[in-house]
Amino acid sequence: MDFLFVFFLGSIFGSFLNVCIYRLPENLSLVKPGSFCPSCKNPVRAWQNVPIFSYVFLKGKCGNCGSRISAQYPIVELISGLITVLTYYYFGLTPVFFVYTVFIYFLIVIAFIDYKTELIYNKVLITLLVFGLIFNVFYPFMAWEAGLYGLLAGGGILFLFSLLGKILFKKEALGMGDVKLAAVAGFFLGMQNVLIAIYFGFIIALVTMVVLRIFKKAELKGKIPLGPFLAAGLIVFLFWGKLIINVYFSYVLG
């Protein structure tokens, strides 16, 4: 399969992820009606719905009413296209490719909804876990015991952090949504891997905070959702975890 084709396919799924990101918090159906402009409510025609290209072609405006369309749409389509190319590149056309591509699609939806609403929805997490459980019956990618330990370790460590945060900062530093996300991710990755992925997530969060601080763009007073960083840590781990660990150990211990 050609990588360009895989990219295009991924970006079409990204289009659907955009629908999920927009509609899940509003409790709207994901299938009916078809895509519509949030501003004028006119249906989006097929030629206006080509991932990335339509946004560029229409200069980021609705084809009917001309109101601005959020840059989130092409960004999610682009990320989804790239991610699908990466999972295809690293896992080939295997059941593991399928399970981790879907896993990351869920992470994209969770990250963007968390960024916008500061909430991680149970219905999304439960759907993801159920998908993993059912998939594991037919195409085992994770020993049941290892999955359970991963779930307990991922959820457990963030639960500890949230307790610690409450004691140290006397406020909710870490939401239960993050705890549940780490638990579900633990089932997909296993104990050791999920802990490293969470560590990656914290590093990415820290680096981002420092960079934002330097450029004085962040209002660090408000609560910063951890979900997008956890998702980023998990994705980085899936693709480059082993590589990073090898490089790290060969430099530190080698």
Looking at 20, 21, 52, 62, which residue binds Zn ion (CB under 5 A)?
62
Verify binding: residue 232, Zn ion, rule CB under 5 A.
no
Q: With CB under 5 A, what is the number of residues at the site for Zn ion?
A: 6
Q: Of 65 and 163, which CB lies nearer to Zn ion in the complex structure? A: 65
As a whole number of Å, the CA-based R_g of the chain is: 19
Interface with Zn ion by CB under 5 A: which range of 58-66, 80-88, 155-163, 185-193? 58-66
65 binds Zn ion (CB under 5 A): yes
Helix (H) or strand (E) holding 119: none
Contact 59, 73 (CB under 8 A): no
Element (H, E) at 248: helix 227-252
Segment lying near Zn ion (by CB under 5 A), choices 34-42, 81-89, 131-139, 168-176:
34-42
Q: What would the two tokens of residue 152 be? A: 């307990």
Q: Which is nearer to Zn ion, 37 or 142 (CB)?
A: 37
Triad 123, 105, 231: Cα angle to 5°: 85
Q: 22 vs 106, which CB is nearer to Zn ion?
A: 22
Does residue number 184 form part of the binding site for Zn ion (CB under 5 A)? no
CB 227 within 8 A of CB 178: yes
By CB under 5 A, is residue 68 in contact with Zn ion?
A: no
Of 35, 39, 70, 72, the one binding Zn ion by CB under 5 A = 39
Q: Does 36 bind Zn ion (CB under 5 A)?
A: no
The DSSP result for 164-175, as a single string, is HHHHHHSS--S-
Q: How many CA atoms lie within 13 A of 20 on its CB side?
A: 23
Rounded Cα distance, 201 and 229, in Å: 5
247 part of the interface to Zn ion, by CB under 5 A: no
Residues engaged in binding Zn ion (CB under 5 A)? 37, 39-40, 62, 64-65
